[in-house]
């Protein structure tokens, strides 16, 4: 069966890693018709925006996209193009698997963790009042305290609805993928009216999944536990800010941004993309590691029912890393982006 998938190569290093990923995906034999759409800094002049409406329409129509990183333009326009895409398509779940794949010299050579991050609320909701805004004094009156004239405020909304859907997503993911445990992460001891809601809903939802072990952890303790004993954890579900921070920490545990795939998933659509950004200083040099993008492609294959092909890519990545002679600079090698794509395609083709 042929799959029609929207492709956003993005900008910076995006087009290079996209080429490598296309080659590897083609080697699996899965028939994909790519609908390549404009997005990123390089389309600003033509479209007046880094994310044209027709690009969002293509994702809505095809329901699945593979996306390279996009630079957030400095000064004006969107606060972040990526946040805009997630909001426009209501991609409320951010999925970040962190696996070791045999990389040498990582502190934990045999890890397999999954971070599920809420994507729509929390301090990323964009509700902020800048220094000098008169509303800050009004908020002070409401809160029964006086803010100094130099105070800025960011608001952290957390709702039962958004908490429930992300926590259910995490438990459903655990069931579908044969995972044993889900850990809910929060700071409800301090933020009783925001993280408190997240924790309360976590406990309610956990009770609906008796076959999955559940526990909750306060985020500072969780951070320490992940550095010392990450093997105790399996799937973690977190509000937006903690999810952002802990997913990078987990990527670091298994080898860094070069091996950190991701997905942003909603009820109707899903966008697969590496965790890292557009790394502008490396753009056009054919030296960046394409594996995060390639593994994002493998996640995408699982999502569209081509799990066997997705596994072939994961196995090929493991083989390439263990062979050790086609690695980019971040893994201690001297190979290029295209060398890694070519070698993975060869391994898959047998
Ligand atoms: P970045 O992830 O682009 O790069 C930081 C550094 O990490 C790079 O200089 C490089 O040394 C290393 N690195 C990143 N990816 C790598 C890879 N695949 N292989 C090897 N090394 C790699 O972060 P940044 O410099 O903070 O952000 C650059 C731009 O990307 C910003 O405009 C930011 O807004 C954007 N960004 C986009 C996304 C996205 O599209 N989802 C995500 C994060 C950042």
For a ligand 1 pocket test, name from 94, 258, 278, 317 the mutation site with the most ligand atoms within 8 angstroms of its C-beta.
Answer: 278
Closest C-alpha to ligand 1, atom 1: 277
Whole-number percent of the chain with pLDDT over 70: 98
Are 114 and 88 within one domain?
no
Are 69 and 194 within one domain?
no
Q: Give the domain CATH number at 187.
A: 3.40.50
In the structure, what pLDDT confidence band is assigned to residue 108 with cuts at 50, 70 and 90?
A: confident
Is residue 100 in some structural domain? no
CB atoms near residue 99 (< 10 Å): 21
- Reply yes or no on whether the pLDDT at 341 is more than 60: yes
Are 313 and 287 within one domain?
yes
In the structure, what pLDDT confidence band is assigned to residue 326 with cuts at 50, 70 and 90?
A: very high
Are 273 and 184 within one domain?
no
Please give the distance, rounded to the nearest whole angstrom, from the Cα atom of residue 195 to the centre of ligand 1: 29
Return the pLDDT at 329.
95
User: 329 catalytic, yes or no?
Assistant: no
Are 89 and 45 within one domain?
yes
Are 139 and 179 within one domain?
no
- Reply yes or no on whether the pLDDT at 76 is more than 80: no
Return the pLDDT at 75.
62
Please give the distance, rounded to the nearest whole angstrom, from the Cα atom of residue 70 to the centre of ligand 1: 9
Closest C-alpha to ligand 1, atom 41: 69
Closest C-alpha to ligand 1, atom 30: 277
User: 11 catalytic, yes or no?
Assistant: no
Are 226 and 203 within one domain?
yes
In the structure, what pLDDT confidence band is assigned to residue 42 with cuts at 50, 70 and 90?
A: confident
Are 250 and 266 within one domain?
no
Residues enclosing ligand 1, CB less than 6 A? 69-72, 82, 257-258, 273, 276-279, 281, 288-289, 292, 330
Closest C-alpha to ligand 1, atom 11: 279
Return the pLDDT at 79.
67
Of 180-189, 253-262, 294-303, which range is least confident? 253-262
User: 342 catalytic, yes or no?
Assistant: no
Closest C-alpha to ligand 1, atom 9: 279
Can you give the residue range of the structural domain that contains 128?
122-156
Are 163 and 175 within one domain?
yes
- Reply yes or no on whether the pLDDT at 67 is more than 80: yes
User: Averaged over 22-37, what is the pLDDT?
Assistant: 98
Return the pLDDT at 150.
96
Whole-number percent of the chain with pLDDT over 90: 89
Beta-bridged to residue 217, according to DSSP, are: 185
Say what angle helices 291-303 and 337-349 make with each other, to 10 degrees. 40
Tokens, residue 39:
């997005």
Q: Which of 254, 275, 295 is the last residue before a domain boundary?
A: 254
Of 50-59, 73-82, 194-203, 221-230, which range is least confident? 73-82
Is residue 228 in some structural domain? yes
In the structure, what pLDDT confidence band is assigned to residue 84 with cuts at 50, 70 and 90?
A: confident
Return the pLDDT at 107.
82
Q: Give the domain CATH number at 316.
A: 3.40.718.10
Tokens, residue 297:
């492609």
Catalytic site residue from 11, 122, 195, 244: 244
Is residue 99 in some structural domain? no
User: Averaged over 165-191, what is the pLDDT?
Assistant: 97
Please give the distance, rounded to the nearest whole angstrom, from the Cα atom of residue 46 to the centre of ligand 1: 24
- Reply yes or no on whether the pLDDT at 78 is more than 70: no
Atom of ligand 1 nearest to the CA of 289: 19
User: 242 catalytic, yes or no?
Assistant: no
Please give the distance, rounded to the nearest whole angstrom, from the Cα atom of residue 94 to the centre of ligand 1: 17
Q: What is the pLDDT of residues 283-324, one digit of tens each?
A: 999 999 999 999 999 999 999 999 999 999 999 999 999 999
Closest C-alpha to ligand 1, atom 39: 69
Are 142 and 215 within one domain?
no
Please give the distance, rounded to the nearest whole angstrom, from the Cα atom of residue 232 to the centre of ligand 1: 29
Residue 155's alpha-carbon distances to 100, 121, 128, 129, 215, in angstroms, are: 36, 10, 6, 9, 27
- Reply yes or no on whether the pLDDT at 126 is more than 90: no
Please give the distance, rounded to the nearest whole angstrom, from the Cα atom of residue 97 to the centre of ligand 1: 18
Please give the distance, rounded to the nearest whole angstrom, from the Cα atom of residue 140 to the centre of ligand 1: 38
For a ligand 1 pocket test, name from 75, 80, 257, 333 the mutation site with the most ligand atoms within 8 angstroms of its C-beta.
Answer: 257
Return the pLDDT at 332.
92
Are 184 and 53 within one domain?
no
- Reply yes or no on whether the pLDDT at 77 is more than 60: no
User: Averaged over 192-209, what is the pLDDT?
Assistant: 98
Is residue 279 in some structural domain? yes
- Reply yes or no on whether the pLDDT at 82 is more than 90: no
User: Averaged over 227-236, what is the pLDDT?
Assistant: 96
Return the pLDDT at 111.
94
In the structure, what pLDDT confidence band is assigned to residue 125 with cuts at 50, 70 and 90?
A: confident
Of 70-79, 114-123, 137-146, 165-174, which range is least confident? 70-79
Is residue 102 in some structural domain? no
Q: Which of 220, 235, 254 is the last residue before a domain boundary?
A: 254
User: Averaged over 165-180, what is the pLDDT?
Assistant: 97
The structural domain count of the chain equals: 3
């Amino acid at each position: 069966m042929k799959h029609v998938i929207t492709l956003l190569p993005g900008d910076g290093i995006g087009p290079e890693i996209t080429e490598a990923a296309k080659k590897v995906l083609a080697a699996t034999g899965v028939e994909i018709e790519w609908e390549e759409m404009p997005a990123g800094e390089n389309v600003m002049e033509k479209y007046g925006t880094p994310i044209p409406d027709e690009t969002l329409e293509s994702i809505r129509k095809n329901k699945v996209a593979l996306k390279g990183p996009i630079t957030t333009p400095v000064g004006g326009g969107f606060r972040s193009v990526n946040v805009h895409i997630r909001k426009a398509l209501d991609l409320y779940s951010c999925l970040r698997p962190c696996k070791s794949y045999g990389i040498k010299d990582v502190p934990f050579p045999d890890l397999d963790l999954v971070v599920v991050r809420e994507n729509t609320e929390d301090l990323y909701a964009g509700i902020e009042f800048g220094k000098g805004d008169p509303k800050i004094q009004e908020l002070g009156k409401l809160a029964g305290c006086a803010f100094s004239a130099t105070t800025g405020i960011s608001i952290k909304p957390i709702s039962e609805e958004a908490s429930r859907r992300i926590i259910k997503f995490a438990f459903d993911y655990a069931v579908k993928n044969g995972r044993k445990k889900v850990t809910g992460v929060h700071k409800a001891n301090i933020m009783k009216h925001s993280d408190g809601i997240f924790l309360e809903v976590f406990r309610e939802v956990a009770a609906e999944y008796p076959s999955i072990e559940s526990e909750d952890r306060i985020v500072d303790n969780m951070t320490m536990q992940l550095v010392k004993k990450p093997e105790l954890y399996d799937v973690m579900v977190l509000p937006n800010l903690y999810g952002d921070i802990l997913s990078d920490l987990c990527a670091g545990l298994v080898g860094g941004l070069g091996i950190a795939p991701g997905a942003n998933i909603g009820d109707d659509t899903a966008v697969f993309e590496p965790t890292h950004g557009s790394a502008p200083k490396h753009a056009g040099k054919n030296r960046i590691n394409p594996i995060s993008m390639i593994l994002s492609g493998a996640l995408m294959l699982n999502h569209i029912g081509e799990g066997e092909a997705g596994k072939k890519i994961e196995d090929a990545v493991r083989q390439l890393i263990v062979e050790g002679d086609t690695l980019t600079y971040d893994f201690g090698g001297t190979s290029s982006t295209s060398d890694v794509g070519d070698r993975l395609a060869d391994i898959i083709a047998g």
